[in-house]
């Protein structure tokens, strides 16, 4: 079949491969662009493919909030260098990404959980010359209140869902707190039984090693366990803007229904 110059040009822009290699790939693939991309990758001719193994420790975390404030998404777009992350093309892709995810029937995940047309960065790799990819994303849809916080360097983002309150400022404050304090869970009852058992065992051993009587040691264990809750459980933590109050207290009867925190480059749990 006849391969047009426009087809060759489009494939070259997508893969960064040479013009003659693109023409041959299209000929071998019957003019099918997707098959031609795979042909180039298999032959090791796609520049995008060659960059795929390189580390992506830079990038951006970007947000999306629907007009009604009931849907929010944060998403990671990763690249190799901060220089590329600051470029217009990369930032435009990153800014559009969470909005595209918001339209999908997904909640949290990685690029593997997204349709190819949303997560495909082949064109961007060819254009910018670095390995890159969609990282993690998180989405909240609620009838409650959503708080969003993106750190000034765009490398850390949080979305929080509150119920039992309509105070958007509190939601924003809780999101900022989560960004700073990185709680492991919302409340003590979410901690795994195995984790609690290990903590109790540790505290009991510490108390016994200090020579405390068993009855006193048990009280010491409970005291240290409560301190552990304040370290790792969101609603038990002292609020960063007023450490005389806990997060539970500033909620004024409301509850934290869920939260998601993305710090650039962290591995998905």
Domain coverage including residue 18? 5-50
Residue 76 belongs to domain with CATH number: 3.30.479.20
Lowest-confidence range among 1-10, 152-161, 244-253? Answer: 1-10
Lowest-confidence range among 5-14, 26-35, 41-50, 179-188? Answer: 41-50
Is 269 domain-assigned?
A: no
pLDDT attached to residue 105: 95
* 194 in the same domain as 97: no
31 closest CA partner among 70, 5, 68, 51: 5
Cβ–Cβ under 8 Å, residues 168 and 195: no
Provide the mean pLDDT of the chain: 89
pLDDT band for 44, please (50, 70, 90 cuts): low
* 16 in the same domain as 63: no
Residue 14 belongs to domain with CATH number: 1.10.8.10
* 233 in the same domain as 182: no
Is 268 domain-assigned?
A: no
Which of the pair, 226 or 45, is modelled with greater confidence?
226
Task: Taking residues 50-59, report their average pLDDT.
Answer: 66
Task: Taking residues 162-186, report their average pLDDT.
Answer: 96
pLDDT band for 1, please (50, 70, 90 cuts): low
* 165 in the same domain as 83: yes
Q: Is the pLDDT of residue 218 over 90?
A: no
Tokens 């520049």 locate to 47
161 closest CA partner among 147, 182, 178: 147
* 258 in the same domain as 225: no
What pTM value is reported for the model? 0.76
Which of the pair, 82 or 218, is modelled with greater confidence?
82
pLDDT band for 268, please (50, 70, 90 cuts): very low
Q: Is the pLDDT of residue 45 over 80?
A: no
* 141 in the same domain as 225: no
* 129 in the same domain as 257: yes
* 29 in the same domain as 126: no
* 238 in the same domain as 255: no
Task: Taking residues 207-219, report their average pLDDT.
Answer: 83
User: How many domains are contained in the chain?
Assistant: 3
User: Angle 29-115-30 (CA atoms, 0-180°, nearest 5)?
Assistant: 10
How distant, in Å, are the alpha carbons of 24, 150, 224 from that of 6?
Answer: 14, 41, 69
Is 223 domain-assigned?
A: yes
* 157 in the same domain as 136: yes
pLDDT attached to residue 235: 97
Cα distance between residue 18 and residue 23, in whole Å: 9
């Amino acid at each position: 079949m006849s391969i047009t110059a426009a087809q060759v040009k489009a494939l070259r822009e997508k893969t960064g491969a040479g013009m003659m290699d693109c023409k041959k790939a299209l000929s071998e693939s019957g003019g099918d662009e997707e098959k031609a991309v795979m042909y180039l990758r298999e032959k090791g001719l796609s520049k995008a493919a060659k960059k795929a193994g390189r580390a992506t420790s830079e990038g951006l975390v970007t947000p999306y909030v629907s007009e009604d404030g009931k849907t929010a998404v944060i998403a990671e777009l990763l690249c190799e260098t901060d220089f590329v992350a600051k470029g217009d093309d990369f930032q435009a892709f990153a800014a559009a990404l969470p909005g595209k995810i918001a339209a999908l029937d997904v909640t949290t995940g990685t690029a593997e959980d997204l349709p190819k047309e949303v997560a495909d960065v082949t064109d961007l790799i060819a254009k910018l010359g670095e390995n890159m990819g969609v990282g993690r994303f998180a989405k909240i849809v609620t009838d409650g209140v959503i708080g969003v916080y993106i750190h000034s360097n765009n490398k850390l983002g949080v979305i929080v869902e509150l119920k039992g309150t309509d105070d958007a400022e509190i939601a924003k404050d809780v999101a900022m707190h989560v960004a700073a304090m990185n709680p492991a869970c919302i409340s003590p009852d979410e901690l795994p039984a195995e984790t609690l058992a290990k903590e109790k065992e540790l505290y009991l051993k510490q108390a016994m090693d200090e020579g405390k009587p068993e009855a006193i040691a048990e009280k010491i264990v409970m005291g240290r366990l409560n301190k552990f809750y304040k370290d790792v459980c969101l609603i038990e933590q002292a609020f960063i803007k007023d450490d005389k109050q806990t997060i539970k207290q500033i909620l004024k009867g409301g509850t934290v229904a869920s939260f998601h925190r993305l710090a650039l480059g962290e591995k998905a749990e």
